[in-house]
Each structure stands twice: as structure tokens, then as C-alpha cells.
Structure 1
């Protein structure tokens, strides 16, 4: 006896995940590192298929204009990268409010980022916010002290301290505190304004940085080096180090945005983690220790978007960059950045 089997008739569905472009992306950038700040938002937005309306700072707009000109010169169609000049209040706010703009990337202050966030929330559009930091540079007693001291100084003097990821809080284990301070002092004395240290970009920021010298004195911080404007013409600030700082002082909590580092002692690993995380910001952190298990354990517990071990700030375009807490949200650079400039769509097909 033979058995016949009827053909099986079933419905099969497949789902495909697509990443449609966001559309028009608004990019609002600050006056520090203007070409870098513009490129790291514009590049992933373009890769995702969007077009750009960018507003650079009115103080440092030329590099962004030149980037757009070069893009047109090499073949970008007109209208893909658009630069609009003006102040944040007039132009930046108009970009965020424009109904055709479906995504905004902003780099700048917490106050402005919060204001943009309110507008974006009303419109229910996504944001990438990169808002600054007060990053902790943690030095344990088994670290390579010479290297850690030299790199710590680089951490708060690069671009005259006008970097959101500056390592301005240097946390040093008490058993090596005095030795580290001497080596740090030697390293900072080798930095000369006008030679290997640039100026503060704006007059207002120049005055703001100097105002913190009085704040530090009032709080009882010990001046190790600097603490004044440099002699001569230009908006130059002496590279400055304060020691014996407690983490509740204003100079340890507020982003100064100048070449000013504060040195804070700690006793134990738990102390270091507690102090590092006692901040409204969470952008980067650095851990110096020859005990890699400890370094990685501490790195895991620091509330920051990027952590470096035995090296200071070696980020590249491949590494995602972004913060926790008041340092913002979203990520720039890396493959993760592209996801912020597209909308995930699932298409299900019955076959």
C-alpha cells in the first residue's frame, strides 16, 4: 500500500530591517575646534543619506564654509551641504524649530543644549548633544608617574584647555601625591604661552578663565604654577595647576575651558571612583595603573562615555564619542554615529 502526501501550503513571512535617512539634519557647532566639530557630525549624516543645514559659531565660521566649498568642488551636488551664518538665537533656534529639519546635532554649552532639548522635545525629533565635561584623570601609586604627569598636563593644556574632553581633574593617590606634583610642575613649566600654548579664542572667555583664579584663591586651593594671564599681547593664559583641591570646590566642579588643572588627593580605589563620579559631567576618564585588572575594574565603574587606561585621549574616527549626565547623549564617530542619523524601519513581507 502506498501513502500519498498532499503538498503543504503554508504562509511564510520575512522581515527586513531598513535604515531610511532622517532627511534634513541641522548641525550646530561651537567656536572651539570648528572644523573637527563640524566634520564629525556632517560625515555620518551624509553617509546615512541626509542633507545638511549647518550653523557654525559666528566667531569661527570660516573653516566650515571652506569645507562646504571643497565639497562642492569635488562633486557634491548643490544643496547637500548648506551653511547658514548668524547667531545661535537667530539662526540656531530657527534651524531647530524648522519643521523640515528632522534631526539635530549640537555641540556646545549645557545651557544652550538644554534649551535646544526643550524645542526638540516639543517637536519630538531626535538630538545628539555633546555638552562638555570635567573629566577625571586617576593616578594610582603603581602608575608610571613620569608618563602620567606629562600626559596629565597635556590633558588640560591641549588647545589651551578649550576642549570638552580636557582632563581637568587630576586625582592622585596620596602615597605618590607629592612626587607626582613635582613632576607635574616640571612638565607644566615647559609649556610657554605663545610658543607651545595657544591663546584663548574670545575676550569673554579670556576674562572668564581669569575669574576662576580669584575663585580658587577664595576656596583655599594651593597655587602650584600659573594663576594669571601671560605677559604681553594676546589672550594668553599661563598654564595653571592648583593642588590640595577638594572636589566640592567650584574649580573642581565647573568647566573652566582654559589651561587649568586641579589636583585632588585620594586614598583608596573606592575614594577615586567616588570622587570621579561626583560630577555633573561624564565625558571621558583616564586610569593610570600597572595593575590592569584594577584599571579595568575602575574604568567599568566610572560614569563616562570614554575611558582610557595608561594613555590620554587616543580617540579616532573609529571610536564612538559621547557622554553621560550633563555631558549629553548620543554618539559621534564610529559606526554608532551613523545609526543616529537614520530611522530604523522594519518591513514584513508575506510570501
Structure 2
């Protein structure tokens, strides 16, 4: 677990933004009103990691909220960006639940069934609602940056960060799906590149830089933070891949071995593909969807291939780069400490 202090001002900014969407529901029909309710529920819960990183970086550079009153709106923008990606990702993965309850797509599938739709119609409405909810959240994230109470130079830099995060994350998600259908034709370079792009930039790199921008940090410090944030994000995603294969149900938020059941082409699988044990690993992955015994056989085959050990080694190397960057002379001592604490937090998540 990555522990950052909860800040009620982040929650208030998120609620205010979502409230603006809900306020537009009047006169737009019962369907849109229901969508606003589902969207509001989608933004509740979660760790709020990304907005917390914006505020933590801002504080570490000695930022003064009185000078940057738009801080919490900017932080909220990164949470709404994340929620938009999650809502769209559930459509891509055909998931109708999140955290054990119906997600936007699940709510609208049930809405369609209550109104008499068949399974095909229910799926169509569920997917359409989720796509549109994600679109609204993306709009709100951009709107928060556009209207945040910050100086014009900072706004331009912040918009560029969000712009890059959106484009790079979309490219990473698309590549991830493409790699999953290419199977063994997807190279390790492709798979590791997708892992970085779909998570590292919008989860760590951009939020940390945003906080630094708002605090008035100089370009050299922001550049160091960008590199360290990218490494943190990659390590975070690689740990997620280990959790998806070997983590407990509590860690993964679903049945253990979920990634194995879904035959996801993760960096872990890419490393296994490079070993002499690949044929056996591949055979066990092909049947992992059949139940817990098959999942356990796939886990054993992966461990015996040495791929998890290699992946843990790569995570260690990546986090070591973060710790080295934390001592850079351009960073305040508190920012260096923040980076080391984040690296320790990612490391503690390794199953």
C-alpha cells in the first residue's frame, strides 16, 4: 500500500466537479439523470492516489496554497482522468462490476432489463452508458485544468501534462489490447512499452510534475521528477502484474490469478515466453480459465520458469533508479524523501 495522507479538500473538489455534471441533468431526461447518478457513484471510493501525489509534490517543493488556490481543482482533474480510464477500461474488458458492485455498464444493463430489453439490448445500453460517462469525466478533467485558479504560465504547463497523459495512456491501452490478440507475436519490447504507457505517465509522472509546476519548481527539478515518476509508474504496473498473477484476493480485489484466467499478455508472461519452459507455461495458461486448480498449475509453471524472479529483479532495478534520482541536487530534501517513500510503498506491494 502507498500511504499518503487523506486530504478532505481533494474530496471536496472532486465532489464539486461531479456536482456540476449532476446539476446539468435537469430537463435532459431520465436516462441522463440515471447516468449522472452512476457517474457520481463511480467517482466514490478508491485510494485517490493521483490527486494525493499532486498535493504531496506541491507540499514537498514548499508550495503555498494561497499562491496557487487552484491546487485542489488540478488534483481533482487527475482523479477524474483516472476514473474515466477505469470506466472505459471496464467496457474494453467486458466487466460489469467493480469493487464487487455494478459499475456504470452494469447499472445500465440492469436498467435495460427492467425496461424489457433482451440481453443484446442490455449489453448495448450498458456499454453506451459507460462510454458516455467516461467521455463526460474526460471533459470535466480538462475543464478543471482550463478554469483552475492558477497563473497563465502554469496553466499552459498543466494542460500540456494532462494532454500528454491522455494521449500516451490511450496509446498504451490500445497497444495492450492489440498485444493480447497477437499472442506470441507480441514482443517483450511491445509489452513492456504498453505497460509503461498505459499507467506510468498519468498515475505518477504527470501528477508529480503538476504539483511541482504549481509550487513554482524550476525546469531541472521538474525533469528529474519526470524521470523518477516514470520509473515509479513502471514499477507500480509491474507489481500490479505480479499481483494479477500471484496476489491474494484481498490484494487483487478479485479472485487470485485473475490475469492468468484472462490470459493477459503481461510483462510477466513476456519474460516467461523467453525461457525454455515457455511451452509448458503456455499450455497451463491456455486452461487457466477453467478453475482454481488450473490457475495454481499456471502459477507453478510460471514460478518454475524463473519469470517472476526476473520481474522482481527488474522492479528492484527500477526502484533503485528512483532512489538515486531522489538525491539529485536540484530537488529539495522533502521531495527526495517523498520519492524514497513512494519507492518503498511500491516495493511493499510486491506479492
TM norm structure 2: 0.28
Normalized per residue, the structure richer in helix is: 2
Structure exhibiting the larger radius of gyration computed from Cα positions? 1
TM norm structure 1: 0.28
RCO comparison, higher one (Cα < 8 Å, 6+): 1
